Structure 1
Amino acid sequence: MTPQTVDILDPDLYLAGAPHDRFELLRREAPVHWHPEPAGRGFWAITRHADVARISRDPAAFCSGRGLFIEDLPPGDMRDNPDVMIMMDPPRHARFRALVSKGFTPRVIQRLESHVRELVTRLIDDACERGGCDFASDIAGKLPLSVILEVIGVPREDQEQMLDWTTRFFGASDPAYGVTPEELNAVLHNMNAYAHQLAEQRRKEPKDDMLSLLMAAEVDGEKLSYTEFGGFFNLLLTAGHDTTKNLISNGMLALLEHPDQRRRLLDDPSLLPTAIEEMLRFTPPVYYFRRSAVRDIELHGQRIAAGDKVVLWYVSANRDETVFSDPHRFDVGRTPNEHLSFGIGPHVCLGLVLARLEARVAFEELLRRLPDLELAGPAVRLRSNWVSGVKSMPVRCARPAR
C-alpha cells in the first residue's frame, strides 16, 4: 500500500474501527494528500495534528460554508443548510455563537448534574432488572437524548420521534437503516417544521428551558430568526445526542477491551477526567469535518487551489506520533492529552461542557454500580466514514448493581 493507492473513503473500512494503518502511512509520507472520489471531484486529506489545528483556526483561508461532508451534495439537499451554525463563517458565525452560547454556560450546564445522575441511575436499574441490555441503545443512547431534549424543552411524548430522526440521520450511510436521500431530506424537513412549531410556542408562552432562553436572547439588538432557530434545533438534536452517545459507548467498549485500564480506573476513580479525554482521543465521535479553500494555498509542498475540498481527519490527528507518545495505546492516565475531538478554533464544540458532564456522571455510576459489566456478544459498529458509532453492544451484569 502506498499513498497513491491508499483508500480512507470506503465506509466498509470503518466497520472494524478506523483504518489506523492507512492514516499512519499518510501522516508519514503524504500529510497533505489528494484523494480521489469514485463519484466526486476529490479532496485533500489532512492527517497531521498541527495541520488540522492550523486549518481549523483559519476560517479566512478555509471556510465552512461550502459543505461539511466529503461528498458534494445536490442543490436543495437540507444537509447543506446555511442556517446551521457549524456551516457558518465570520462574521455571521460569531454573532450566532454569541446568541446561542447563553444556553451553554458552565453555570447553566452544572445545574443539570443531579438530573443527569438520576437518569443514569434509572437506566442502570432497568438494565440490571433484565440482567443486561444493549448498552449502545439502552444506556449510551437514551441518556444524552433524554438530557438534550429536556434541556431544550421537547415534550416527553415526542422523544421517540426525535430518536427515530437522529438515528436515521446518522445511519444514512448504513444499509441496515435503508435511508434513501429523499427520506433523509424528509427527516431534516420534519425536524425544521417541528422546530418552527416549538419556536412559535415559546414566543407566545416562554418556559424555563433553553428554547425560551434562545428565543429571548439578543446580541446587538438582534434575535434568532425562525430559520436560524430551526438550524440550531437540528444541530442540538443531532450533535447533542449522537456524539455524546458515541463518546459513552466507545468509551465503555474501550474499557471492556482493555481490562487493565478499567481496573486502574476502578482502583483510582480520580483518573476519570483524564480517562474521558483519552476515550475522546482514542475513538473520536466524529472522524472528520470538511473545509473549503478560499484562496490558493501551499502546504507541505502541495498547492491547494481555491475551491478545493480540504478534509480534516481528527481520527488521524489524535494518533499523531509527534504529539502523543505510544499513540495506539489506550491510557486512562494520559496527560497531557491535546486531542482534537471537540475541534479547535472558532468552531470548537459548543456543547463540550455538557458532553463532559454527561460522560463523567455516567461513568461514575457505571463503574461504581456495575464494576463487573461484561460483553455478552460482539459490538457492531456503524458503517460510516464520518461518525464513529456503535449500533449494538450487548452486555450483561455479572452481579446485581449495588
Structure 2
Amino acid sequence: MASAPPPASSGQKAAFAFIFVTVMLDMLAFGIIIPVLPHLIVDLIGGSIARAAVWSSAFGTVYMLMQFVFSPVQGTLSDRFGRRTVILISSFGLGVDFIVMALTPTLWLLFVGRAISGICSASFSTANAYIADIVPKEKRAAAFGMMGAAFAIGFIIGPALGGFLGHFSIRLPFWVAAGLSLVNFCYGFFVLPESLPLERRTKRFDWRHANPFGALVLLRRYPQVFALAAVFFLINLAQFSLNSTYVLYTDYRYGWGPQTVGYTLGLVGFCSGLVQAVLVRRLMPKLGEQRMIMLGLPLCVMGYLIFGFSSVSWIFLLGIPFLCLGGLAGPPAQALMTQQVDPHEQGRLQGALSSLASLAGIFGPVVFANLFALFISNHAPAHLPGIAFVLAALLLTSAAVLARYAIRHLHPVHAAPASPSAALSTEFSPVADVVPHEPIPHDQTESSP
C-alpha cells in the first residue's frame, strides 16, 4: 500500500505564507491608489467629472489590455522556468512603476505607468498556479478562498489608507504603494521556495501557448471547463462596473470625497474577507462547489441592483453585504476548473483565466464608464447614474443561467492520489495542510500542441 505523503515542510509553509502575503501586499498597493487616481486625472486634465470618467476608462482599458497580453506569457514562462522568478520580477517591476507614477507631471506618463502596472500585475496568474502546485485538488476551493481573503485584507486597508494619505497629498499613496511592492520583493527573495520541480516543467517556451489567444485555446481542449470559464468572464466583466465608476459615481450622487470612498471600500474589503476566509471554508464541506456557485451569483445580483437604484447613501451601503456574499461563487468555480486540467498545465490555465479577466477589463471600463457619463449628461435618454450597476446585475443573471448549464456537464473528479491524507480533514489550513503533488512522469512534461 502506498505511503501517505510527508507532512508539509517549513519551506512549504513559508511558501504558502509568502503567496498569501504577496497577494495581500499587491492588492494593498493597488487599493491605496484607487481613491486618488481619478482625482489625479482630474487635476492633470483640469476637466469635469464626466470627462474624467472617460479618461479613467482609458486608463482601466490599457491596464487590462496589458494583463490580457502578458498573463499567458507569465503563466507559460512559469511553466517553463518556475514560479519564483516570475513572481519576484513582477513585484520589483511594480515597485519601480509606482515611483514613476508618483513623480509624473503629465497625463501621458501616468498613462504609460498604468500600462506597466498591468504588465507587472499579471503575476496573479502565476501566484494561482503556485497554489495549484502545492495544494491537493480537494482543498483548492478553500485555498483559493484564502487567496480571496488576501485580496480582501489588502482591499480593507488599501483604499482606507489611500483615502487618508490622499488628504495630505494626492501623490503620497503612490510612494507608499511603491514601498510595499519593494518590501514584498525583498521578503520573497529570501523566503519563497520554488513550487514547480524541474521534472514537472515544460521542455520549452512555446509562443503559441504564450500569446493570449493561444492560451484561450487551452480552454477549448477541455470542453467541461469552457462554460465555467465563460461564467468566470461574466463575473469579471460585471466587477468592472465598480472599478470604473465607483469613485466618480459616489462623488456625483452622494458627494463622497477620497476619505469616504476609501473607508467604504475598506468596508467592502472587510465583508469580502469574512466571506472568503470564513464562509467559503465553512460552507464548502456542507454545500460543495456547485451549490456554492449557485448561491453566490443571485446574492451578487441583488447587491448590484441595490447599488444601481439607491438614491441615498445609507441604502447604497446596504448593498455591500449582498455584493460580498457573491464572492461565494468565485473560489469553487476556479477550483472546479483546476480539477479538470492536467497538473503540468496549471500555469497555462491560470494564464488563460487571467486573460479572460483582462479581456473583460479591456471592454468593461469603456462600456461602464461611458454609460455612466452618458446617463448623467444633458443628452441622457433617462437620468440613471447607477446604469453601470444595473447592467452588471443583468450580466450576472446570465452567468447564473450559464453556470447551471456548465455544472450539469462537468466530469466527475476523484481525489488526487498524491494526497490520500486529505480525507482526514474537511477543512483547509493554509499552513499545515499544504502537501506537494507527486512528480508526474517525464513524458508528460511536454506541453500539448
Output the TM-score relative to the length of structure 2.
Answer: 0.25
**Higher helix proportion, which one?**
2
- Identify which of structures 1 and 2 has the higher relative contact order when contacts are C-alpha pairs closer than 8 Å and 6+ apart: 2
**Higher strand proportion, which one?**
1
